[in-house]
């Protein structure tokens, strides 16, 4: 089954190379129309997935990631329209070099070819991934999670129906309909047929792909993010940012999971922050100093496992630190190189934090929730890369391309 999918995708990728930006944009418009026309079928499939997930006892945070309605389908279509407006990177000349011997060397952007995307229970990824890969001339093989399988199949059916009316080959968008673990192993070992793997999901999934893939992998998404509130922080600013970064949407990778507070302000800051967090339904897990400082609040004692966990839920681990050095050391030990923030009015302390913290996005006096392609002004994204090779941070259209060199001569030979 997978051999057939990869062969079809490879053939489609070769056809995609020849298409213009206008042809690809037309295809994106058509699949947007088809999504809306088939919304009833998509929502019916989503109800089936939701019911099964409720029976399995999935928490509300995960159900929210899975749930679709007409508004969210419109958001998917809006996302496609925004991709249409973005500049097509394929064929862009990165640089031109004129050699003394008369050779002209051009470095140009090209598609990867076939991209495999492995993700969990967020059906919006299905449409986002298809839109971004098609815009960049890549074929895509989607392998979603079992919780959203009926929704994903319905979405891909609509996408492929839309492509029937365009010059983009239908097989440019494929979905693996089986959800057994071995299908992931087969996909990531399809060297020569698949050119790139992008896993999106929890730490376990990403680590499994990294350890077993024969195909190049871009590591994305695990966000054990921190905010450090320095002794020179503006208290009101720190309160607003901490609450936003934890509460506004706790189930995403750029929400904070830990809060570090300088010991000189802990006694004045935490008694104000903690009740505000708890009013928003946040469970607090604190270091021993935090627990003893707030005896009238329900606070669980935090362990190293808590500091090492991406909760993706209304849970926050708090640790009181003696200085910026300890805060940076804590982040270095437990962080996942995603997004980290410092709140301080001391520019020297901020500069120290920004330069020394090793993460894709490091903030000064702003919420980590801004780590996002649209918020950075890049447009749509396929995920947040937490590695250092090829792509880092929000991965937009350019990050879904590679490059090659075109060399033009007039009969030159090397002596």
Asked if residue 111 has pLDDT above 90, the reply is: yes
Would you say residue 380 has pLDDT above 80? no
CATH code of the domain made up of 2-220+382-408:
3.40.605.10
pLDDT by residue (tens digit) across 177-193? Answer: 999 999 999 999 999 99
Run of H or E residues at 229: strand 225-229
Predicted confidence at residue 373, as pLDDT, reads: 85
What is the band of 201 on the pLDDT scale with cuts at 50, 70, 90? confident
CB contact at 8 A, 150 and 45: yes
Q: What is the mean pLDDT of the chain?
A: 95
What confidence score (pLDDT) does residue 315 get? 97
Average pLDDT value for residue range 70-95: 95
Instruction: Tell me the domain boundaries of the chain.
Output: 2-220+382-408, 225-370
Of 202 and 116, the structure prediction assigns the larger pLDDT to 116
Q: Which of 15-24, 61-70, 208-217, 353-362 has the lowest mean pLDDT?
A: 61-70
Q: Two tokens at 126? A: 């299905």
Residues 6 or more apart whose CB falls under 8 angstroms from that of 278 comprise 284, 297, 298
The distance from CA 172 to its chain's CA centroid, rounded to whole angstroms, is 22
Specify the pLDDT at position 379.
Answer: 76
324 pLDDT more than 90: yes
Mean pLDDT of 91-99: 97
Reported residue count of the chain is: 415
Question: Region 196-223: what's the mean pLDDT?
Answer: 91
Token duo for residue 165: 């009316």
pLDDT at 390: 83
CATH architecture of 225-370: 3-Layer(aba) Sandwich (3.40)
- Arithmetic mean of pLDDT, 286-313: 96
pLDDT reported for residue 112 = 97
Distances (CA, A) of 299 to 226, 227, 228, 294, 370: 19, 19, 19, 8, 28
CA distance linking residue 313 with residue 277, whole number of Å:
13
**Max Cα separation, the chain?**
84
- Confidence class for position 173, pLDDT limits 50, 70, 90: very high
Mean pLDDT, rounded, for 396-409? 96
pLDDT of residue 219: 86
Over the stretch 214-256, which tens digit does the pLDDT of each residue have? 999 998 878 999 999 999 999 999 999 999 999 999 988 999 9
For residues 402 and 383, give the distance between their C-alpha atoms in angstroms, rounded to a whole number: 17
How much of the chain, in percent, has pLDDT values that exceed 90?
Answer: 89
Neighbours of 363 (CB within 10 A): 24
Confidence of residue 143 (pLDDT cuts 50, 70, 90): very high
pLDDT at 378: 80
Residue in 278, 283, 265, 269 with CA at minimum distance from that of residue 321: 265
Q: What is the pLDDT of residues 254-263, one digit of tens each?
A: 999 999 999 9
At 408 the pLDDT is 97
Query: Rounded distance, CA 122 to CA 120, Å?
Result: 6
**Tell me, what's the pLDDT at 101?**
96
Q: What local confidence, expressed as pLDDT, does residue 202 receive?
A: 80
Q: What is the mean pLDDT of residues 107-128?
A: 94
With a cut of 80, say whether residue 304 has pLDDT above it: yes
């Amino acid at each position: 089954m997978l051999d057939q999918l990869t062969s079809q995708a490879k053939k489609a990728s070769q056809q995609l190379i020849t298409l213009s930006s206008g042809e690809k944009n037309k295809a994106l418009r058509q699949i947007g129309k088809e999504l809306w026309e088939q919304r009833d079928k998509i929502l019916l499939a989503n109800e089936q997935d939701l019911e099964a997930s409720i029976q399995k006892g999935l928490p509300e945070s995960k159900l929210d990631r899975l749930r679709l309605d007409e508004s969210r389908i419109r958001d998917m279509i809006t996302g496609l329209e925004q991709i249409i407006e973005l500049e097509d990177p394929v064929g862009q000349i990165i640089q031109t070099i004129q050699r003394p011997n008369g050779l002209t060397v051009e470095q140009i952007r090209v598609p990867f070819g076939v991209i495999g995307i492995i993700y969990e229970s967020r059906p919006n990824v299905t449409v986002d991934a298809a839109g971004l890969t098609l815009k960049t001339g890549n074929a895509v093989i989607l392998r979603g999670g079992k919780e959203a399988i009926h929704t994903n199949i319905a979405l891909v059916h609509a996408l492929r129906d839309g492509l029937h009316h365009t010059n983009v080959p239908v097989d440019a968008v494929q979905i693996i309909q089986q959800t057994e673990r071995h299908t992931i192993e087969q996909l990531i070992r399809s060297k020569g047929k698949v050119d790139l793997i992008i896993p999106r999901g929890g730490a376990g999934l990403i680590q499994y792909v990294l350890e077993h893939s024969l195909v190049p992998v871009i590591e994305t998404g695990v966000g054990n993010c921190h905010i450090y509130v320095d002794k020179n922080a503006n208290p009101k600013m720190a309160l607003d940012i901490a609450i936003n970064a934890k509460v506004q949407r706790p189930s995403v990778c750029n929400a904070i999971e830990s809060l570090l507070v300088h010991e000189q302000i802990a006694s004045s800051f935490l008694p104000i922050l903690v009740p505000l967090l708890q009013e928003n339904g946040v469970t607090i897990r604190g270091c021993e100093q935090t627990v003893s400082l707030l005896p009238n609040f329900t606070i669980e004692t935090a362990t190293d496992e808590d500091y090492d966990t991406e909760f993706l839920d209304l849970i926050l681990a708090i640790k009181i630190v003696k200085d910026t050095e300890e805060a940076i050391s804590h982040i270095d030990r437990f962080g996942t190189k995603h997004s980290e923030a410092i709140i301080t009015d001391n520019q020297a302390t901020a500069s120290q934090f920004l330069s020394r913290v090793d993460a894709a996005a490091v903030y000064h006096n702003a919420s980590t929730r801004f780590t996002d392609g649209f918020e950075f002004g890049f447009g749509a994204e396929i995920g947040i890369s937490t590695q250092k090779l090829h792509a880092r941070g929000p991965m937009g259209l350019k990050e879904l391309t590679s490059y090659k060199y075109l060399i033009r001569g007039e009969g030159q030979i090397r002596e």
